[in-house]
């Protein structure tokens, strides 16, 4: 849940900064903010799952390396 929220915030921040760089009002085209936040939440959620999976793989790999004779 935390990763999804972080992703949503990141997506929103990208869109806000993008508008600021173009010298547009920050909330210009609000549907894009929603789109970016939703996209960011989806990617963040997926990356959160991926992080857990990667950590498990690395721990398994390290445990395998420590095993004598492996």
Partner 1 sequence: MVIIINISDIYIFIPELYLTLTVFILLIYGIFYSTNKYYGYPILSKNFGYLVVITFTYILFLIINTPDFLSTYFPSFFFFNNSLKWIKTIFLLVGICYVFLVISNISLEKLNVFEFFLLFILSILSIFLIISTFDLLSIYISLEMLNLIFYVLATIRRTSEFSTEAGLKYFILGVFSTGLLLFGIALIYGCIGITNFIDLSLFFQSIMKEKSILEIPTDLLLGLVFISTAFFFKLSAAPFHMWSPDVYEGTLTSIITLFIIFTKITIFFLFINLFGTSLFELFNVWQKLTLICAFFSLFLGTFIAFAQTKFKRFLAYSSINHVGFIMIAVSSINYNGFYSLIFYMMIYILINLGIFASLLSLRNFRNYKFNHQIRYISEFTILSKTHPIIAFSILIILFSISGIPPIAGFFTKLIVFLTCLKSSLYSLVIFAITISCLATFYYIRIIKIIYFDNCNVWLIYVPMDKSKAFVLSFSVLLLTFFCLNPNLIINSIYIISTIN
The encoded tokens of residue 26 equal 């920050």
User: What is the rounded CA–CA span in Å between residue 48 and residue 64?
Assistant: 24
Instruction: State which of positions 23-62 bind partner 1 (CB under 8 A).
Output: 23, 47, 50-51, 54-55, 57-58, 61
H-only helix segments in the chain? 2-21, 30-66
Binding mask 4-23 for partner 1 (x = CB under 8 A): --x---x--xxx-xxxxxxx
Residues making contact with partner 1 (CB under 8 A): 6, 10, 13-15, 17-23, 47, 50-51, 54-55, 57-58, 61
């Amino acid at each position: 849940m935390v990763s999804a929220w972080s992703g949503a915030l990141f997506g929103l921040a990208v869109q806000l900064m993008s508008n600021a760089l173009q010298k547009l009002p920050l909330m210009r085209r609000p549907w894009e903010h929603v789109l970016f936040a939703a996209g960011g939440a989806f990617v963040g959620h997926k990356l959160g799952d991926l992080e857990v999976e990667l950590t498990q793989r690395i721990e398994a790999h390290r445990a395998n390396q420590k095993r004598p004779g492996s």
